[in-house]
Chains A and B, each alone.
Chain A
Amino acid sequence: MALNSDYLQELSDLFVADVRKSAYYGNLSQKQRGQFDAQVAEEEMRGLHPLLPGAAEEEVERLSKAIREELGILLPVAAVEILRQVDGFVENGLSLYGVDPEFRDDHFDSGPGILAENQAKWSAYAHTAQRYLFIGDSDLWFFAIEMNSGQPLALDRSTLAPEHSFKTVEEMVNDMMRQALGYLEEDEEEHPMEGPGSPPDNFFPRN
């Protein structure tokens, strides 16, 4: 299942616009600015999302191998599918983890990596965290896949209690992108956890 292309496009447009009005861009030489603009235009022509690329196949393979060796788990197929479409982003206090920089050819660090984030969380919450593969976070939530069931879940950031479940990982990442884009309305179906564990009025705050 594909991620919502409108959200991907909107995030990409936002990131490109941010670069163009940034001090970083202003300090580039004319030649460097030209290279950036040309490459963005070319990626747009090819139907890609500039500054929001998917991971390359060999990068995913290196990450999968490292996760198997260092965490002792298999990288779920659903997570691989997400990485192929969007290799992480950081916006609006929300992070989707991507391929760790050491598994890229150029070692470029574009944001938090899946392996490093899971190593940190697994050691910090040894008793509960190892049930989950963490794929992102926000101020209030961890976004994870339960390893046994494959269930995508939003976990309370302070207690790791499951607070919200999603039908698919794509649905969860779409929700993450909505939060990143600052959509406050609830116009998508949600699936609060049943029974205790569902505070009624402060789910998924979006700013």
Chain B
Amino acid sequence: MMECGRPPSSIAEVHVVPCKPTRGRRESYNCHHIVPKSVRSVSNTLSVNNPANFVVAKTTRRGRDQSENPHHFWHSLFLHPQTHNAPDQPIPIYVVRPLFPFYPPITQGYKNVEELRKKLASVGGPPLPEVWEKRILEFSKASNHRPYVVPKEFHEITRMFGDLFKTANKDSAVNKELRASLAEKAAKLAADFLPAGAYLDGKQLPADHKPKRILPVVETNQESATAAQKPAPAKSRAKKAQCQIPANQSKPRQQAI
């Protein structure tokens, strides 16, 4: 539902009593991005999908220019084109698992703990526990101290996703047109990453489709996953069943942290 400009919610109960105001109870959800600290199984007994391997990413940014918003980037590139015009039948959905810890406000790499502490202090962040500092530094090293950035070629679709939420675009006809336009544009870009069988803007990528970039795919129904799985043709599953792709990675290079 984020692709429709609103997170999902459901009605649990409505209370209608004469002469009393109508009340309802609803379950509401927000769009979280759950980030694995590692896509490599931390131990023989701990699956990549173990909750201990996850953190919740604060992936949103405030401000008018959303073209470098990683949250909107992941939605615009992968989720929106897959869910827009999706057929009314079970299809595979590939979702992003962004890599810890490159999300705002920590979107850069650090060479030493002093750099990290200075940056955190400059943005008013609280000091981190030593173990977290260590993890961030190890991760920075593993990624050659590169910052998390939304590549320039995706700025346009990322900004377009942010535009879906603008007040001026709330009119349903306008919003529908914008969503269609975004899906069409993003589908072409997403095809470079997604494997054969994935649906983009309602059309399935053919069996002979070869993505330009191979991403590690973690199957959500696996008990124990490994870091470097090449995308296999996805099996048809319920829409909720998802394949997950670490964000912004051309090849697996994560280390267990």
Is the beta-carbon distance between A185 and B30 smaller than 8 angstroms? no
Q: Shortest Cβ distance from A194 into chain B, in angstroms?
A: 10
Q: A36-B22, A50-B22, A202-B62 are known contacts. Are A24 and B11 too (CB-CB below 8 A)?
A: yes
Q: Interface SS of chain A: helix, strand, loop or mixed? A: loop
Q: Which residues of B contact A150 (CB under 8 A)?
A: none
A123 interface contact, C-beta 8 A: no
Within 8 A of B (CB), among A148-207: 156, 158-159, 161, 163, 182-186, 195-207
Q: Which of A40, A109, A138, A161 contacts B25 (CB 8 A)?
A: A109
Q: Shortest Cβ distance from A49 into chain B, in angstroms?
A: 9
- Of chain A, the residue at the smallest CB distance from B17 is A106
A139 interface contact, C-beta 8 A: yes
Within 8 A of B (CB), among A90-124: 90-95, 105-106, 108-111
Q: Which residues of B contact A36 (CB under 8 A)?
A: 14, 16, 22
- Of chain B, the residue at the smallest CB distance from A202 is B104
Is the beta-carbon distance between A198 and B60 smaller than 8 angstroms? no
Q: Shortest Cβ distance from B83 into chain A, in angstroms?
A: 16
Q: Which residues of A contact B71 (CB under 8 A)?
A: 205, 207
Q: Which residues of A contact B167 (CB under 8 A)?
A: 183, 185
- Of chain A, the residue at the smallest CB distance from B32 is A139
Cα A82 to Cα B32 in complex, Å, equals 29
* Per-residue contact bits, chain B 17-51, to A (CB 8 Å; 1 contact, 0 not): 11011111111111110000000000000000000
Q: Shortest Cβ distance from A172 into chain B, in angstroms?
A: 16
Is the beta-carbon distance between B105 and A201 smaller than 8 angstroms? yes
Q: Which of B30, B63, B126 contacts A201 (CB 8 A)?
A: B63
Within 8 A of A (CB), among B1-21: 2, 5-7, 9-18, 20-21
Q: Which residues of A contact B28 (CB under 8 A)?
A: 90-95
Q: Which residues of A contact B7 (CB under 8 A)?
A: 92-93, 182, 207
**Number of residue pairs across A and B with beta carbons under 8 Å?**
145
Q: Which stretch, A14-22, A61-69, A70-78, touches the partner chain B?
A: A14-22
B141 interface contact, C-beta 8 A: no
Q: Which of B10, B13, B64, B165 contacts A206 (CB 8 A)?
A: B165
Within 8 A of B (CB), among A10-35: 15, 18-19, 22-25, 32, 35
Cα A91 to Cα B60 in complex, Å, equals 17
Q: Which residues of A contact B64 (CB under 8 A)?
A: 185-186
- Of chain B, the residue at the smallest CB distance from A180 is B28
Is the beta-carbon distance between B2 and A207 smaller than 8 angstroms? yes
Q: Which residues of A contact B16 (CB under 8 A)?
A: 32, 35-36, 39
Is the beta-carbon distance between B9 and A201 smaller than 8 angstroms? no
Is the beta-carbon distance between A25 and B21 smaller than 8 angstroms? no
- Of chain B, the residue at the smallest CB distance from A92 is B7
Is the beta-carbon distance between B126 and A159 smaller than 8 angstroms? yes
Q: Which of A15, A43, A93, A200 contacts B30 (CB 8 A)?
A: A93
Is the beta-carbon distance between A201 and B11 smaller than 8 angstroms? no
Q: A24-B14, A182-B6, A185-B64 are known contacts. Are A108 and B58 too (CB-CB below 8 A)?
A: no
- Of chain A, the residue at the smallest CB distance from B29 is A93
Other than the given A24-B10, A199-B124, 11 more pairs (CB < 8 A) read A15-B26, A18-B9, A39-B16, A51-B22, A53-B23, A94-B30, A110-B23, A158-B126, A159-B126, A202-B60, A206-B60
A-B CB contact pairs (8 Å), 15 listed: A18-B9, A39-B16, A51-B24, A53-B22, A54-B21, A92-B9, A93-B30, A110-B15, A186-B63, A199-B105, A199-B124, A201-B61, A202-B104, A205-B58, A207-B165
The 9 closest A-B pairs by CB, nearest first: A93-B30, A205-B60, A53-B21, A197-B124, A22-B11, A196-B124, A199-B123, A184-B165, A24-B11
- List the interface of chain B (C-beta within 8 A of A): 2, 5-7, 9-18, 20-32, 56, 58, 60-64, 66, 71, 104-105, 121, 123-126, 162, 165-167
- List the interface of chain A (C-beta within 8 A of B): 15, 18-19, 22-25, 32, 35-36, 39-40, 43, 48, 50-51, 53-54, 90-95, 105-106, 108-111, 138-140, 156, 158-159, 161, 163, 182-186, 195-207
